[in-house]
Structure 1
Amino acid sequence: MAAAAAAAAPILSHIARESSDIRRLANFYKEIFGFEEIETPDFGFNVIWLNLANAFSLHLIERSPETKLPEGPYSAVEPIREVSHISKGHHICISVANFDAFVGSLKEKGIETFQTAVPGRSIRQVFFFDPDGNGLEVASRDE
């Protein structure tokens, strides 16, 4: 019974993000994380599919001009652009093997970051925003 349950375990397929500039957002995720642009079906609206090998896909969907919601979660209530205040419940986390090199590359690109560590563990974390203000976390893999 346990083997059948393990075989049917769910896996993350994709995360969708709306943006008024999906090309800018796609270029950011390709440059920062190494996502690859993959073939996208014609849904009748603009969308770019990105894939992170052996992980998950990111679907960037062009925001309708009629949408009245703000462009990023940081502006949902008030404009909070301070990276140390990224919402606990609204971010994507990706882990990397060479944490220091990754953080160095963010600094070289002028991306503002906030670093911390998981209490009681050896995992380090860096938080930052994508160009639309979506919170991102990158965590070190257990060394």
Structure 2
Amino acid sequence: MIEFERIHHVSLAVRDLEKAKKFYSDLFHFQEIERPPFKSNGVWYAIGNQQLHLLEHPNGETLRTSAIDSVDGHFALWVKSYKNTIEWLEHIGVPYEARPESVAGFAQIYILDPDHNIIEFDAAYDS
């Protein structure tokens, strides 16, 4: 049996690495970390003890094009404050779908990155 410890990273395909970096680095202030010299273009970010890897995939064959659908593949980040996260998204002009009283047992907020990758922010109710 495999003994799992934690998720190490999530990788997302992006069409334009510079555009993606502006979203993740400039708007959300994700911390960029060193990436090995792979032959592909990409960037790695530290998110707590886990990592987000963005991999440039210029032809975009595998990338989604539709609106937010929480049944599609996505990654979720637990945030300290639902209210502050909503305020930040409004401040930076990123559209979102809020589910403050989700049946999940915690509040949820969904956004799309420039390549329509779905990101979910989760927080305790009334935080």
Gapped regions of structure 1 (runs ≥ 5): none
Q: 2:8 aligns with which of 10, 13, 23?
A: 13
Q: For residue 119 of structure 1, what is the aligned residue in structure 2?
A: 103
Structure 1 residue 28: Cα displacement: 1.5
Q: Which amino acid aligns with 1:19?
A: V
Measure, in 2, the Cα distance between the counterparts of 1:90 and 1:99: 22
Alignment of 1:71-110 (within 5 A): 72-73=63-64, 75=65, 80-81=66-67, 83=68, 86-110=69-93
Moved more, 100-109 or 44-53: 44-53
Measure, in 1, the Cα distance between the counterparts of 2:60 and 2:93: 31
Q: TM-score, normalised by structure 1?
A: 0.74
Q: 2:41 aligns with which of 46, 53, 56?
A: 46
Whose Rg is larger?
1
- The structure-2 alpha-carbon separation of the partners of 1:141 and 1:29, relative to structure 1 and needing over 3 Å to count, comes to farther
Q: 1:129 aligns with which of 112, 116, 120?
A: 112
Q: Which amino acid aligns with 1:112?
A: P
Q: Which runs of 4+ in 1 moved over 6 A?
A: none
Measure, in 1, the Cα distance between the counterparts of 2:14 and 2:110: 20
Q: TM-score, normalised by structure 2?
A: 0.82
Q: For residue 59 of structure 1, what is the aligned residue in structure 2?
A: 53
- The structure-2 alpha-carbon separation of the partners of 1:16 and 1:68, relative to structure 1 and needing over 3 Å to count, comes to closer
* SS of corresponding position for 2:12: strand
Determine which structure has greater relative contact order: mean sequence separation of CA pairs < 8 Å that are 6+ residues apart, divided by chain length: 2
* SS of corresponding position for 1:139: strand
Measure, in 1, the Cα distance between the counterparts of 2:48 and 2:95: 26
Measure, in 2, the Cα distance between the counterparts of 1:101 and 1:24: 25
Gapped regions of structure 2 (runs ≥ 5): none
Structure with the higher fraction of residues in helix conformation: 1
